[in-house]
A and B are shown apart, each in its own frame.
Chain A
Amino acid sequence: MANQFDVVILGGGPAGYVGAIRSAQLGMSTALIEKEKLGGVCVNIGCIPTKALLHSAYVARLLREAKEFGVEAGSVKTDYGVAMQRSRRVSDQNSKGVEFLMKKNKITVVKGSGTLAPGRKVKVGTDVLEARKAVFVATGSRVKGLPQIGLEINKTTVISSDEALFLEQAPPSLAIIGCGAVGTEFADIFHAFGTKITLIEVLPRVLPLEDAEASEAVTKSFTKRGIEVIVGAKVTRATPGKGKVTLELEAGGGSRKIEVAAVLMAAGRALNTEGIGLQECGIQLTDRGFIRVDANLLTTAPGYFAIGDVAGAPMLAHKGFREGMHAAEFVAGQKPFPIKYDNVPSVTYCHPEVASIGATEEQCKQRRLDYVVGRFPFSANGRARGTGETEGFVKLLRDKKYGEILGAHIVGAQASELIHELVVARENELTVEEVELAIHAHPTLSEAVGEAALDSLGRVVHL
């Protein structure tokens, strides 16, 4: 029967398409169902286009400072529409790349909305796809508003990243609600394009999941640049008007009112678990609304696996990649190594970038770990001085007795790239001593990692 496959995957985002590739590599016939473009949020309205826009922001900032480097760039003009168009091309290229990968691996791509049915079936319109081995649920997540305080996404004055990525021009002023990765990245982007930014966070600091020192460094950099950061703030009421929104806030024991041209909602995401037939198949959810899975991502219904955002936090593309591979290998009868959820790097691409792995210092304290901190600031790093990017630091938390790297936090230029040395180290259980023993080329930003390891051993050299 033509509609029978070994593996049927619902959702063509990072978890789904990688699960499809790995399944195909293992010799299983695979179908991938996607209602929009392949690559999901990540490729089309998430990771990829924002990185393109962040680079535009970086170029704008660099040109404004060019004179200091002996380069006259004249007066710098920015055009968000052009930057947006470029980011769309980048996204399209990536989505086409995923299409190519599907063809290359002989994966059947089915366009449409799928609904799960018992017996390892997925209905797409009038078609029924049947999985001989397994169905992977990879439906992902979407942006959400806060309708209870008047902040329902109306796509004009109250927008989400979905709309922000398609604006023809940067708004004159923007309040961003939520200071996680999405909020801080858009603050960075729009500020470079001339928007007056107010960042609002309900928790006491920006990037609340990162180490407190990282939050502090980002706040300092943003404030210095003229981005207003209001933390510990509660939006009590929002009144969208014509071309403007009035926000009433409670922060620092007082209340205030601000008026902005638009509000960008960047506070959390909603899971795409409704109306896809989970209940009918006996697939249960957790208290937090994720699909309940075991260590091999099997749901409460035999033959149905969940991968990516719907399978639980952290809701990150690279976590989804790994889960897609893991589920495919497990279904193929292999014994994949367990996923180490405490070793998923977290990266925010605002400037300065913030990247981390493992525990924050606060978590070390909560867990009563006996730890030692090693730090090295980029202001003492030759390469960083050369590029004029001396903001930030490398911070290592190591176990006092065994030298285990409990956590690592990097703020600064290229932090997103630098973190991987420590991801590899942690994955392979290298201690700070092996990291330090590895010779780091000079002059590089990576030297700061080696120096932070040395510092944790009380032997820092270049400080």
Chain B
Amino acid sequence: MALDFAGESEAREDAVAGLISTNTFWTLWLFVHLMLAVGLLGALTHQAMAVALPARRAAGGIVSRFRAVPAAGYASAVCVLWLLTFIVGSYIYTKYRVQIRIPLEAAHYYKTGGFFDFKEHVAAMGLLLLPAYWYFWKNAHNPDYDNARTGVTLVLAAMCWFMFIVGHVLNNARGFAS
């Protein structure tokens, strides 16, 4: 069974073509993806610092204050941001596959392409970790979950940093407007 979305996709691009170019359209979506990723990275980094290096005093230098955030309050925001970043990333991935990856391969940027595929697998695995992550943080009063909560938060933060850096390098190698 096959569905054809070609007409729908062309109609959408035609609709924006009068206002902005196709490149601008996709660059704007990439920008939205970036903004969501920045929010996610900030939230997860705060949370990871709070669980890995808990602040002894709420006040102090900038590093202490960075670590002294109420980490549990970030859990739902992190889940929503991960989901939104993932959905927008999945949307622009279709254009990447045709407009970016093929020229990347032609230019022999194989490591860049390989790391981007790696990033996609990491994003999918991070998505699958979210239910437990959310549950552990919503039950932060329960000491049974302390180690698992710390581990999942640190793994998600590491994944987010990895994806952010790979995405950034890929955009430098060949963004939508290049």
A and B associate in one complex? no
Q: Which residues of A contact B (CB under 8 A)?
A: none
